């Protein structure tokens, strides 16, 4: 049995993230704020604002390196969603905040549910004499790392508006809990939260486009996270089958298990191909990019869940213990399906957008995806 998977985004960023994850994969708590201390928040910040001026592919190297070792950090949220939204604001407003993000002077996180795209906000804003008042409830926010400020999208005068709010004004969450894959989740209830006029960064159509771009980036990087965890899970499963013995022989000699792993391996290779295709579409600004990402999410989420369930079964009783890395990787794969819209949500959007009398053209269909 071969368990070889080459990284999709190799390089120094991947190696650094992979080594950090290996060193801390068994840690109950992480020291400080590693995402910002390691400089990853500066990846997508333009050089003019003190950042690295990198691309999503650079950030994908970090995401892949962490996922391969099962370490859960909100890189997508703090290093992709936040900078992309800030970059869309007017330069005189965004510049100082982007520089503060690059230099880790502030800890900005999106006040948004992980299960929804950034444009699917639930907050409402109304004008007041001193600025604005925010109301609403946001469930499933990633609160793994501390935040000094929250970046919140709300509806103002019937249009989207983006607010940067001091964490003290938002207050403590209504509930905190541990998610399936090991994140620290939180539910926030905002009731009459008053914010100054300067908290409004931008609104209207420019923000709508920025939210869509941030959503595309979040979907794309979530796919990277999924295929990296899936490849790592298969590697660990093969190693387990080679080392575990039953009836005097290694489990890897059982033909039914070999066939099952081979099926997992082929589907994982296909999933990696879909991610490469999706990245090419993003880098070339291909039309209907969101549709491409939704189709990829449909396919990859299905194969990832199947791989997770098969791996747990092949590990036997060990597959139910979180002490085993393969179990944590399987949990990560199952939970990843619900990040930024699950399969049913993506399918509903695709069906709603498709004309009833037409069929998808080959130009808009992913290689290997069902028609």
Question: Can you give the pLDDT of all 371 residues of the chain as single tens digits?
Answer: 556 788 999 999 999 999 999 998 777 677 788 999 999 999 999 999 999 999 999 999 999 999 999 999 999 999 999 999 999 999 999 999 999 999 999 999 999 999 999 999 899 999 999 999 999 999 999 999 999 999 999 999 999 999 999 999 999 999 999 998 889 999 999 999 999 999 999 999 999 999 999 999 999 999 999 999 999 999 999 999 999 888 889 999 999 999 999 999 999 999 999 999 999 999 999 999 999 999 999 999 999 999 999 999 999 878 778 888 899 999 999 999 999 998 888 899 899 887 654 444 444 444 444 43
Tell which phi-psi region holds residue 171, choosing left (phi > 0), alpha (psi between -120 and 50) or beta: left
Task: Give the model's pLDDT for residue 79.
Answer: 97
215 burial class (0-12, 13-18, 19+ CB within 10 angstroms)? buried
Is the pTM higher than 0.85? Answer: yes
Q: Please answer whether residues 154 and 120 qualify as being in contact, where contact means their C-beta atoms are separated by less than 8 angstroms.
A: no
Task: Give the model's pLDDT for residue 3.
Answer: 62
Q: Please answer whether residues 114 and 182 qualify as being in contact, where contact means their C-beta atoms are separated by less than 8 angstroms.
A: no
Residues 6+ apart with CB under 8 A from 187: 137, 138, 139, 140, 141, 173, 174, 175
In CATH, 207-364 is 3.40.640.10: no
Residue recorded with tokens 């969101």: 290
Task: Give the model's pLDDT for residue 357.
Answer: 44
Residues 6+ apart with CB under 8 A from 226: 67, 271, 300, 301, 304, 333, 336
Delimit the domains of the chain by residue range.
Answer: 207-364
The CA distances from residue 208 to 86, 116, 225, 286, in Å, are 13, 15, 26, 19
Distance CA 201, CA 154 (A): 12
């Amino acid at each position: 049995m071969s368990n070889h998977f080459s990284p999709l985004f190799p390089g120094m960023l991947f190696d650094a993230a992979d080594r950090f994850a290996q060193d801390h994969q068994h840690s109950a708590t992480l020291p400080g704020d590693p995402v910002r201390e390691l400089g990853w928040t500066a990846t997508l910040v333009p050089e003019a604002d003190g950042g690295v001026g990198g691309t999503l592919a650079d950030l994908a190297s970090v995401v892949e390196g962490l996922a391969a070792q099962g370490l859960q950090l909100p890189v997508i949220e703090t290093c992709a969603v936040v900078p992309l939204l800030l970059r869309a604001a007017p330069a005189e407003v965004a510049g100082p905040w982007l520089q503060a993000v690059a230099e880790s002077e502030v800890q900005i996180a999106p006040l948004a549910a992980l299960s929804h795209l950034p444009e699917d906000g639930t907050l409402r804003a109304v004008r007041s004499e001193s600025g604005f008042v925010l109301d609403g409830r946001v469930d499933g926010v990633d609160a793994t790392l501390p935040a000094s400020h929250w970046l919140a999208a709300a509806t103002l005068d019937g249009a989207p508006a983006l607010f940067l709010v001091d964490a003290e004004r938002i207050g403590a969450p209504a509930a905190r809990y541990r998610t399936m894959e090991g994140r620290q989740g939180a539910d926030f209830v905002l009731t009459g939260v008053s914010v100054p006029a300067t908290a409004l960064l931008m609104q209207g159509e420019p923000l709508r486009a920025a939210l869509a771009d941030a959503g595309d980036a979040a979907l794309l990087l979530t796919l990277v996270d999924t295929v990296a965890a899936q490849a790592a899970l298969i590697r660990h499963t093969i190693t387990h089958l080679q080392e575990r013995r039953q009836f005097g022989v290694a489990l890897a000699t059982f033909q039914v298990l070999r066939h099952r792993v081979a099926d997992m391996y082929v589907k994982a290779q296909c999933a990696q191909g879909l991610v490469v295709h999706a990245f090419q579409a993003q880098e070339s600004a291909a039309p209907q990019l969101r549709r491409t990402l939704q189709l990829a999410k449909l396919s990859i989420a299905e194969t990832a869940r199947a791989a997770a369930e098969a791996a747990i079964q092949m590990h036997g009783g060990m597959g139910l213990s979180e002490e085993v890395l393969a179990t944590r990787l399987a949990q990560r794969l199952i939970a990843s399906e619900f990040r930024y819209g699950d399969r049913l949500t993506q399918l509903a959007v695709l069906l709603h957008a498709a004309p009833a009398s037409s069929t998808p053209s080959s130009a808009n269909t992913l290689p290997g995806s069902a028609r």
